[in-house]
Amino acid sequence: MNVKPSHLFYQGRERKPVLDQARGVYMWDVDGKRYLDGSSGAMVCNIGHSNENVLEAMRRQMEKSTFGYRLHFETEASEKLAAKTAALCPEGLNKVFFVSGGSEAVESAMKLARQHALAVGEGARWKIISRAPSYHGCTLGALAITSYAPLTNPFAPMMQAMPKILAPRAYLDGLDPEDEATGHHYADMLEAKIMEEGPESVLAFIVEPIGGASTGALVPPKGYMERVQEICRKYGVLFILDEVMTGAGRTGAFLAAEHWDLAPDIVVMSKGFAAGYVPLGAMVAHERLVEPVLDAGGFQHGFTYAGNPLACAAGLAVIDEIERQDMVGNAARMGVRLLERLQGLMQRYAIIGDVRGKGLLTAFEFMADRGTNAPLPKHLRAFDRFVQIAYDKGLIVYARRTRDGVEGDHIIVAPPMIVTETHLDEITEMLDASLTEFTEEIRPALDR
Ligand code: PMP
Instruction: Tell me, in angstroms, the distance from the centre of ligand 1 to residue 35's CA.
Output: 24
Instruction: Tell me, in angstroms, the distance from the centre of ligand 1 to residue 305's CA.
Output: 18
Instruction: Tell me, in angstroms, the distance from the centre of ligand 1 to residue 216's CA.
Output: 13
The least confident of 210-214, 296-300, 342-346, 352-356 is: 210-214
Instruction: Tell me, in angstroms, the distance from the centre of ligand 1 to residue 100's CA.
Output: 11
Instruction: Tell me, in angstroms, the distance from the centre of ligand 1 to residue 271's CA.
Output: 8
The predicted-structure confidence for 142-183, as pLDDT tens digits, reads as follows 999 999 988 999 999 999 999 999 999 999 999 999 999 999
The least confident of 94-103, 295-304, 439-448 is: 439-448
DSSP 369-389: BTTTTBPPPGGG-HHHHHHHH
Question: Which residue among 245, 246, 398, 410 has the greatest number of ligand 1 atoms within 8 angstroms of its CB, and so is best to mutate?
Answer: 245
Q: Which atom of ligand 1 is nearest to the CA of 212?
A: 5
Question: Which residue among 11, 44, 103 has the greatest number of ligand 1 atoms within 8 angstroms of its CB, and so is best to mutate?
Answer: 103
Predicted pLDDT of residue 213: 87
What percent of the chain stands above pLDDT 70?
Answer: 98
Pairing of β 164-166 and β 202-207: unpaired
Q: Where does 223-376 have alpha helices with state H?
A: 224-235, 287-295, 309-324, 327-348
Question: Which residue among 40, 100, 136, 146 has the greatest number of ligand 1 atoms within 8 angstroms of its CB, and so is best to mutate?
Answer: 136
Pocket-forming residues, ligand 1, beta carbon under 6 Å = 42, 101-103, 106, 135-137, 208, 212-213, 242, 244-245, 270
Nearest CA, atom 8, ligand 1 = 213
Bridge partners, residue 240, by sequence: 206, 266
The least confident of 4-13, 24-33, 160-169 is: 4-13
The predicted-structure confidence for 294-314, as pLDDT tens digits, reads as follows 999 999 999 999 999 999 999
Predicted pLDDT of residue 354: 94
C-alpha gyration radius of the chain: 22
Predicted pLDDT of residue 404: 60
pTM for this structure?
Answer: 0.97
Check whether 96 has a pLDDT greater than 60: yes
Check whether 187 has a pLDDT greater than 80: yes
Nearest CA, atom 10, ligand 1 = 136
Interface ipTM: 0.99
What is the spatial distance between Cα 203 and Cα 363, in angstroms, rounded to a whole number?
A: 32
Instruction: Tell me, in angstroms, the distance from the centre of ligand 1 to residue 110's CA.
Output: 14
Distant-in-sequence, close-in-space partners of 347: CB < 8 Å, separation ≥ 6: none
Q: Which atom of ligand 1 is nearest to the CA of 279?
A: 15
Length of the chain: 448
The least confident of 12-21, 117-126, 155-164, 270-279 is: 12-21
Burial (0-12, 13-18, 19+ Cβ within 10 Å), 52: exposed
Question: Which residue among 271, 273, 361 has the greatest number of ligand 1 atoms within 8 angstroms of its CB, and so is best to mutate?
Answer: 271
Q: Which atom of ligand 1 is nearest to the CA of 245?
A: 5
Instruction: Tell me, in angstroms, the distance from the centre of ligand 1 to residue 421's CA.
Output: 29
Instruction: Tell me, in angstroms, the distance from the centre of ligand 1 to residue 245's CA.
Output: 7
Q: ω before 221 within 30° of 0 (cis)?
A: no
Nearest CA, atom 15, ligand 1 = 102
Cα-Cα-Cα-Cα dihedral sign, residues 153, 156, 160, 165:
positive
Nearest CA, atom 12, ligand 1 = 102
Give the containing element (helix H, strand E) for 187: helix 180-197
Mean pLDDT of 365-377: 90
Q: How confident is the model at residue 21 (pLDDT cuts 50, 70, 90)?
A: very high
Check whether 368 has a pLDDT greater than 80: yes
404: DSSP letter: S
Distant-in-sequence, close-in-space partners of 428: CB < 8 Å, separation ≥ 6: 341, 344, 345
Predicted pLDDT of residue 3: 65
Q: Sketch out the chain's domains with CATH numbers.
A: 19-51+326-447 (3.90.1150.10), 53-324 (3.40.640.10)
CB of 113 within 8 A of CB of 128? yes
Instruction: Tell me, in angstroms, the distance from the centre of ligand 1 to residue 103's CA.
Output: 6
Tell me the angle at which helices 382-392 and 421-447 cross, rounded to the nearest 10 degrees: 130
Predicted pLDDT of residue 407: 62
Query: Measured over all CA atoms, what is the biggest interatomic distance in the chain, rounded to whole angstroms?
Result: 67
Instruction: Tell me, in angstroms, the distance from the centre of ligand 1 to residue 447's CA.
Output: 38
Q: In terms of C-beta distances under 8 Å and separation of at least 24 residues, what long-range contacts does 252-257 make, across chains too?
A: 252/328, 252/329, 252/331, 252/332, 252/335, 252/358, 252/359, 252/360, 253/328, 253/332, 253/359, 254/88, 254/328, 255/88, 255/89, 255/90, 256/209, 256/210, 256/358, 257/90, 257/209
Check whether 2 has a pLDDT greater than 80: no
Predicted pLDDT of residue 294: 98
The least confident of 57-66, 153-162, 275-284, 380-389 is: 380-389
Pairing of β 93-99 and β 127-132: unpaired
Instruction: Tell me, in angstroms, the distance from the centre of ligand 1 to residue 282's CA.
Output: 12
Predicted pLDDT of residue 14: 82
Q: Which atom of ligand 1 is nearest to the CA of 42?
A: 8
